[in-house]
Structure 1
Amino acid sequence: MSTDPSKWKLNHTMLRVKDPQRSLDFYKFLGLTQINKIPQPEAKFDLYFLAYNGPSSRSPNHHWTDREGVLELTHNYGTEDDPEFKVANGNEEPGKGFGHIAISVDNIQAACQRLEDAGYPFQKKLSEGKMRSIAFAKDPDGYWVEIISQKPLEETEGVKETDTQSYRFNHSMIRVKDAEVSLNFYQEVMGMTLMRTSEKKNSNFNLYFLGYGPKPKEEDSANGVNPVAGHEGLLELTWNYGTEKQEGKVYHDGNSEPQGFGHICVAVDDLNAACQYLEDKKVSWKKRLTDGRMKTVAFVLDPDGYWIEVIQNEKMKRSANW
C-alpha cells in the first residue's frame, strides 16, 4: 500500500452560504457550472459543487473528485430565512483568516464591467487603489472574489467581450502566522510545490502560491502577467511580516464562531495509504478516517488550525458513491 503525493489534487474550497440560490446565481454568472449536489437532509444541510466545465476548461466532464479548482458551497437549512444569520468573510475581526478566492479571466476590463453592469458590488474596482491590474468583487455573502488577468493588460485594453468558459478558478487565499512553518508543512507534509513567490516588501507582506504539479519554468512571464494565472487549484498563503512573533493563535479557522470558510480539500490517489502517510508525518488530525460516521473523509489541521479535508480521487480508485 503506497501513495504518491505528486498525483494528489487541490480539489476544492468550501464556503458556507446563507441563500444557496443567490450564491448559485452569482457563481454561474461567473461561468461556473454545478457539477454535483450532495443532499444531507438528515443532518439538515446540502453541499453544492461548482467548477468550470465548458469545452475550453481544464477538466471538462471529469468526476468532481478528479479535478482542481472546485468550489463547494455548504447550505445549512433555514439560514436563508434567518435575518440574524451572516457568514464571516474572513477579512474582518473577529473571524480574520481566510482572504478570498480568485478567478483568472481572459479580458479583465470586460469581465469587471460585466459584473458591474449586473449589479454585483465590488470591494475594489480596477480603477481603485495602487494595484490597477486586479479587482475584488463581492459575492452575495460578502466573500471577496479576486479577478486577475490571464493576459497582459495592454492586450485587452478596449476589448468589450469576455468568454466565461475561458475563466479559471485559480486560487484560494489564507493568511498564515509563520511563513516558514506553513511552507514547510504544505511542501514537506502535503506534497505541494511552491509555484511562485511575490514579495511586497514596501507593504510588509509576502504571497506564496502552492499547488500540485511542476513549477512553471519562468518565475515571471512577459509583461508582468502572473505565470500561474492559467492554473486551477492553487493555494495562496499571505504572510504579514511580524505575525510569527505574536503569541498564540493569530488567525481564525472559519469553523468556530463566527463561521464562514470551512476548509480546503485534497483528493488523493489512495485514501487509506495517504492517511497512513500523513499519520507517519505526525500530522494533527481533526478527524481520522475511522472517526465518526463518515468513513470516506478525513480532516488534517495545518499549522494555523485551518482544516484540510482528504478524500479519494474516484477516477483512480472507487471508494464511495458520491
Structure 2
Amino acid sequence: MSMFLHTMLRVFDLDKSISFYKMLGLHEVRRKDVPEGKYTLVYMAYQGNDKGGAELELTYNWGCETPYNVGTGFGHLAFGVDDVTQLVEKIRQSGGKITREPGPVKFGKTFIAFVEDPDGYKIELIQND
C-alpha cells in the first residue's frame, strides 16, 4: 500500500512558523533534533491524524542566517478551513501577509483567500462546505 506522508518546507524561524501553522489548526505531532546534522524536524498535522493523514514537516537548519528563496516552481499549499474570513483576520492581526482577500474564486463559487507563511510560502485557504 502506498500513501502520501508529508510535505517538507525549510523554515528560517521555527517558532514563528509553528505559531503560523497553529493558527491554521495544525498541532505539533513530533519533533526530532539531529545535532550531528545541525537541524530540527517538526511534524505538524490536524487532530485525529492517526488515520494516516498527511503531515507538514518543518525543517529548521541550525545557524541559517539567510531566509530561503521559495523558488518559481512551487505553487501553494491548500487548507480547508471553516471560516476563511475569520482566519484571514486572525492572520492579519498577528502581522501576517494577506495576498488575496477572501472572496469567490474567479469564474466559480468556491470561497478562498491567499496568505503567506513567515517564510513566504503561499497558502490557499478554502472555505469548507
Q: Same fold (TM over 0.5)?
A: yes
Give the aligned residue type for 1:147. Answer: L
Aligned to 1:174: none
Q: Which runs of 5 or more structure 2 residues have no equivalent in the other structure?
A: none
Tell me what 2:124 maps to: 146
Amino acid paired to 1:108: V
Deviations 1:222-261 (A, max 9, x none): xxxxxxxxxxxxxxxxxxxxxxxxxxxxxxxxxxxxxxxx
Partner of 2:57: 72
Q: Which residue does the alignment assign to 1:99?
A: 75
State the aligned residue count. Answer: 127
Which residue number in structure 2 is paired with residue 13 of structure 1? 7
Residue 40 of structure 2: SS of its match in structure 1? strand
Largest Rg, 1 or 2: 1
Distance 2:101 2:54 in 1: 24
How far does residue 128 in structure 1 lie from its aligned partner after superposition?
Answer: 9.2
Cα deviation, residue 120, structure 1 = 1.2
Structure 2 counterpart of 1:88? 69
Question: Post-superposition shift, 1:115?
Answer: 2.0
Aligned pair in 2 of structure 1 residues 13, 117: CA closer, same or farther (>3 Å)? same
Between the aligned residues of both structures, percent identity stands at: 36
Tell me how far 1:108 sits from its aligned partner.
Answer: 2.0
Provide runs of 4+ in structure 1 moved above 3 Å: 127-132
Q: Which runs of 5+ in 1 are unaligned?
A: 1-6, 90-94, 152-322
Which of 97, 103, 106 is residue 121 of structure 1 equivalent to?
Answer: 97
Question: Deviation string for 1:207-231 (max 9, x for gaps)?
Answer: xxxxxxxxxxxxxxxxxxxxxxxxx
Contact 2:17–2:118 under 8 Å retained in 1: yes
From 20, 23, 32, the equivalent of 1:29 is: 23
Letter in 2 for 1:88: N
CA distance in 1, matches of 2:90, 2:104: 17
Post-superposition shift, 1:88? 2.2
Within a 5 Å distance, the mapping from 1:298-313 to structure 2 comes to: none
The answer to whether the 8 Å contact 2:104/2:112 transfers is no
> Secondary structure of 1:125's partner?
strand
Q: State the TM-score, normalized to the length of structure 2.
A: 0.87
Distance change >3 Å, CA 52–CA 135, structure 1 → 2: same
1:135 maps to 113
1:133 is displaced (CA, Å) by: 2.1
The structure with the greater share of residues assigned to strand is 2
Q: Distance in 2 between matches of 1:126 and 1:108?
A: 7
Displacement of 1:145: 0.8
* Separation in structure 1 between the aligned mates of residue 58 and residue 8 of structure 2, nearest angstrom: 6
Distance 1:75 1:48 in 2: 8
Q: Aligned partners of 1:50 and 1:129: how far apart in 2?
A: 28
Match for residue 112 of structure 1? 88
- Secondary structure at the counterpart of residue 10 of structure 1: coil
> Is residue 2:37 matched to residue 1:43?
yes
Instruction: Provide the C-alpha distance between the structure 2 equivalents of 1:26 and 1:110, rounded to a whole number of angstroms.
Output: 15
CA root-mean-square deviation: 2.1
After superposition, residues 164-183 of structure 1 pair within 5 angstroms as: none
Distance 1:127 1:149 in 2: 10
| 1:17–1:103 distance in 2 versus 1, CA, 3 Å | same
